[in-house]
Amino acid sequence: MRNGGRLLLHVYECQWDKSHSPCGMHIEGDQASVTDHLARFHGFTGGEGETACLWDGCTSKKRSAMKGTSVARHLVTHIGYKIKCMACNIDYAREDACRRSHANARSECQRMQLAPVHGTGVITLRVQTCEPPTKKRHIADA
């Protein structure tokens, strides 16, 4: 997302297994970023078997028995990241839900325009592009 020509990055503190093995990292709030983070930094790859949500403070009734493939989608609800259709001003839990709604012939809004809705714990960073420093050539003393 851009603000005054500058790129903005919206991240959230990772709360996965915070009491036992915190990673101390920040992640973007969309499902793909959460999935990637869990796999790369926590060794969690999901799967069809049942697993527990290890997000700090999770009080979901399904906390201890959810499909591994559902965990990243569940974590996005903890983060609070949503998608808003700017044309019809409706928030959706996920982009696929927004697309399904707009593909429906009964939908009043046929001009889907997506924008992220960030959760309350968001940290907004201004991203700057940097050129790597040029190497200075040192002349050896004679």
Q: Which position has the higher pLDDT, 5 or 108?
A: 108
What pLDDT is attached to residue 15?
93
Q: Is the pLDDT of residue 48 over 60?
A: yes
Strand 82-85 vs strand 114-117: parallel, antiparallel, or unpaired? antiparallel
pLDDT of residue 92: 87
Q: Which of 33-42, 45-54, 71-80, 124-133 has the lowest mean pLDDT?
A: 124-133
pLDDT at 142 over 80: no
**How many Å apart are CA 37 and CA 27, to the nearest integer?**
7
Which has the closest alpha carbon to 10: 96, 130, 116, 128? 116
Between 28 and 116, name the one with better pLDDT. 28
Question: Two tokens at 35?
Answer: 């999935």
The pLDDT of residue 49 is above 90: no
Other CB atoms closer than 10 Å to residue 44's CB: what's the count?
18
Mean pLDDT for 30-53 is 89
> Tokens standing for 109?
């809004």
Is the pLDDT at 29 greater than 60? The verdict is yes
3-state helix, strand, coil in the chain (%, to 5): 25, 25, 55
Residue 65 structure tokens: 């028995």
Q: Once rounded to an integer, what is the mean pLDDT over residues 40-45?
A: 90
Between CA 137 and CA 13 the distance in angstroms is 42
pLDDT of residue 136: 61
* Widest distance between CA atoms in the chain: 83
Which pair of tokens denotes residue 69?
Answer: 């493939």
